[in-house]
C-alpha cells in the first residue's frame, strides 16, 4: 500500500518470505514508481531468492539493496504512514521458529515521527555498501 517509499531491514533474505508471491508484489510496487530500499546485515548468498532480487535491482533504478547494517533493531517503513521498529528481522525465516519468541518493538504512526525516523535510517544507509 506504499505510494512513494518502502524501506525494510533484515538479517538476510530468506526463501520462506522472499518467494514468488513476494517477488511479484515487489515488482508491482516498483512498476508503480515506489522507491524500495532493503538493508541487509549479511551479504546475500548467490542463490535464490537473492538472485531474483539482484535481477530486479538491475531492472529497476528505484530498488536499492544495501548490506552492512549493524543495529540491533530492524525496521519497516511505508511512506510517512507507519514505521515498525522491532528486534526481529523483517524478511526472516518463519519456518525456523520452533518456540515462542518475544518480540520487542515500536509502531510509529504520526507522520512527523515516521518522517524523522526515515531521515535517520536513510542517513545510516548512505554509509553502507550498495549492491
Are 62 and 5 spatial neighbours (Cβ–Cβ below 8 Å)? no
9-68 pLDDT tens trace: 988 887 777 888 999 999 999 999 999 999 888 887 787 888 888 999 999 999 999 887
pTM of the model: 0.83
Which residue do the cell numbers 504512514 mark? 81
**pLDDT given at position 126:** 63
72-84 pLDDT tens trace: 789 999 999 999 9
Amino acid at each position: 500500500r506504499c505510494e512513494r517509499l518502502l524501506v525494510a531491514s533484515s538479517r538476510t533474505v530468506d526463501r520462506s518470505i522472499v518467494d514468488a508471491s513476494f517477488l511479484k508484489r515487489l515488482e508491482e510496487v516498483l512498476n508503480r514508481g515506489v522507491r524500495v530500499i532493503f538493508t541487509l546485515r549479511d551479504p546475500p548468498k548467490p542463490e535464490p531468492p537473492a538472485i531474483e532480487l539482484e535481477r530486479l535491482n538491475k531492472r529497476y533504478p528505484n530498488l536499492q539493496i544495501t548490506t552492512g547494517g549493524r543495529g540491533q533493531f530492524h525496521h519497516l517503513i511505508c511512506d510517512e504512514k507507519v514505521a515498525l521498529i522491532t528486534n526481529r528481522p523483517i524478511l526472516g525465516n518463519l519456518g525456523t521458529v520452533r518456540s515462542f519468541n518475544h518480540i520487542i518493538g515500536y509502531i510509529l504512526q504520526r507522520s512527523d515521527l515516521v518522517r524523522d525516523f526515515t531521515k535517520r535510517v536513510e542517513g545510516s544507509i548512505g554509509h553502507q555498501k550498495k549492491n
